[in-house]
Structures are given as C-alpha cells and as structure tokens.
Amino acid sequence: MGIVAGSLVDPCSTRITKTGAWRTFVPVVDHDQCIKCSLCEIYCPEGCIHQENGNFVPDLDYCKGCSVCANECPRMAITMVLEEK
C-alpha cells in the first residue's frame, strides 16, 4: 500500500488500521456474574465493547486494555489479565 502525502486516506480507515496491539492487559468477562447493565459498553472510551449473543464482549482488534470497563462494572465481572503474546 502506497502512502499519500498529507496522510490522506479514504473514510473509515480505522477499519483497516487495528490498534489493539497497544494493549498490555486484556479484559476477561465472567458472563455468569454479568447482569447485562451495559455500563462497560457505555463507558468504554474506544466504543469497542458490544453485545454478542446476549454477552458483552470486547473487540480485541481495538481494545487498548485501559481497564475502564473493569472499574465501572458494578458486579466486578471483568478482570484485567496480563496478556502475553
């Protein structure tokens, strides 16, 4: 892929540019503890937690591991786990 001066790109370039590699800790959700309040989805600064088949799941292509979801969860259902790659 060639680059264009002025870093001009077509819209929606973040769909191509994945930023999850910055993460050190990964959120792990205990779905049995989860009461589906959706606070994690609301507070996620990247907007990358969504419901899939009823469960809240972080999109690891974009999750930076910031821990906001884990801190906001009233049920302490999200644990930040050191991710080794």
Partner 1 sequence: MSENTLNMKVVEGSYAVAHAVMRCRPDVISAYPITPQTHIVENLSQMVADGELDSEFLTVDSEFSALSVLVGASAAGGRCYSSTTSQGLALMYEVLYNVSGMRLPIVMNVANRAVGAPLNIWNDQQDAVGARDVGWLQIYVEDVQEAVDTTLQAYKIAEDPEIKMPVMVCMDGYILTHVYEPVQLLDEQLCDQFLPPFRPADVLDPDHPKTFGAFADPSTYMEFRYKQFEAQHKSLDVIEKVARQFEQTFGRYYGGLLDSYQMDDAEVVIVTMGSVIGTIKDAIDAMRAEGKKVGLLKVRSYRPFPVQALRKALKNAAVIAVLEKDVAIGGEAGLVTDLKAAFYNSSIKTPIIGFTAGLGGRDITIKDIRKIVERAEAARKGIESEFEFLDLRTEIL
> 53 or 85: whose CB is closer to partner 1?
85
Query: How many Å apart are CA 43 and CA 13, to the nearest integer?
Result: 23
SS3 category, 72: helix
Residues 11-50: x where in contact with partner 1 by CB under 8 A, - otherwise, as a string? x-xx--x-x-------------------------------
- Cα diameter, the chain: 50
> 30 or 61: whose CB is closer to partner 1?
61
Q: Which residue matches tokens 């302490």?
A: 76
Closest contact distance (angstroms) between CB of 45 and partner 1 is: 16
User: Which positions lie near partner 1, rule CB under 8 A?
Assistant: 3-11, 13-14, 17, 19
